[in-house]
A and B are shown apart, each in its own frame.
Chain A
Amino acid sequence: LIDVTSLTLFPSNTFLTGAVSVTCIVLIPLRYQTAAGLSPLQAGARLILFSVASPIGAILAAAACKKNRVAPLYLMLFGEILQIIGLVLATTLTSTNDRDWPGLYGLQVCIGFGMGLVVGTATLLTPAVVERKDLGKFDCLDFMTCGAVLTYQQRRGRPL
C-alpha cells in the first residue's frame, strides 16, 4: 500500500534537490569566468569533475538499493548531508583573495557525489510513490508539456 504522505511530499523533495543541482551546474562555471577570469570553454572543462561525480553517485545509489539492501531514504539523507558539507565549506573557507581557489575541485566532487545519490534514489523511488496505473499519465503529461512548449516556440519563429 502507498502512503499518502510520501506521495504528496515526493515532488517537493525532487523540487529542492533539483534546485541544488541545476544551480550548481550554472553557477560554478560562472564563478570560474568572473572570479578566475577563464574563458567559457576552460570554465566548462573544470566542471567535468562535477559532472563525473554525479553519475558515479547515481550508479552507487542504484547498486546499493538493489535487493533491498539499504533503504533509499537513508541514501537520500546521506547524499543531502554531503551536499550540505560541501556548501558549508564553499561558503566559509573562501575569502576575497581566493580568486582561483583549488579547493573548489574537492567541493565539486563532494556536492556532485551527494547530488548523484539523491537524484539516483529519487528516480528509483518514483515507481514506489506513484501508483502503477498513474505512471502512464505522467509520461503523457510530459509529452504534452514538451509539445506545447515546442509549438509555442515555433509559432514565435524561434529555432530551439
Chain B
Amino acid sequence: VIQFRFLGGATILSIATAVGNSWVRHVVSDLLTTEELQGIFRSAATIGDLAAETEYVVRGHFVQSFNLQMRILLGVAVAAVFSSLLMWQKPQVKVP
C-alpha cells in the first residue's frame, strides 16, 4: 500500500514536469538561442548568465509555469477528496 504513494508521486510528478517544461520551452523559445535554451533545462544556474532583462522575463515565465503545475496538483487534490469520500461508511473505519 505504501508503494502506491510513490507510484502516484512518480506518475503525477512526470505529468506536471512535462507540462510545465514544455510550456516554458514554448514561451521562451522566441527570446533565447537554442544553446541557451538547452542550458536552462540542463541547469537552472545558467539562467543567471543571461542578459539582465532576458533573465527577468525568463524567471517570470518560470513562476507562471510553477503556477500551472500547482493547478494540475490542485486537480489531483480535489480528486483525492472524492476518493476519500467514497470510503465513507456508516460506522466509520476505526484504527484497530
Contact = CB atoms under 8 A, between A and B. Distances in A.
A96 B80 CA distance: 29
Contacts of A152: none
Given A5-B87, A34-B44, A20 B95 contact: no
Interface string B42-79: 00110110000000000111111011011101101111
Contacts of A16: 8, 76-77, 79-80, 83
A83 interface: yes
Given A6-B93, A19-B13, A71-B93, A83 B77 contact: yes
A108 B87 CA distance: 28
Interface residues of A, number: 66
A33 interface: yes
B62 to A, nearest CB: 4
Interface in B1-37: 1-13, 16-17, 20
Given A17-B5, A18-B4, A119-B5, A84 B74 contact: yes
A11 B4 contact: yes
Contact of B93 (A15, A20, A125, A142): A125
Nearest to B60: A96
- Please classify the interface of chain B as helix (H, G, I), strand (E, B), loop, or mixed, using the class held by over half of its residues: helix
A17 B89 contact: no
B12 to A, nearest CB: 4
Contact of A35 (B63, B85, B92): B63
Contacts of B5: 14-15, 17-18, 21-22, 119, 122
Nearest to B9: A22
Contact of A27 (B63, B66, B77, B78): B66
A128 B4 contact: no
Contacts of B66: 27, 30-31, 34-35, 94
Nearest to A7: B87
Contact of A80 (B20, B62, B80, B92): B80
10 contacts: A15-B4, A20-B73, A20-B80, A22-B12, A23-B9, A31-B63, A87-B71, A91-B74, A99-B59, A142-B3
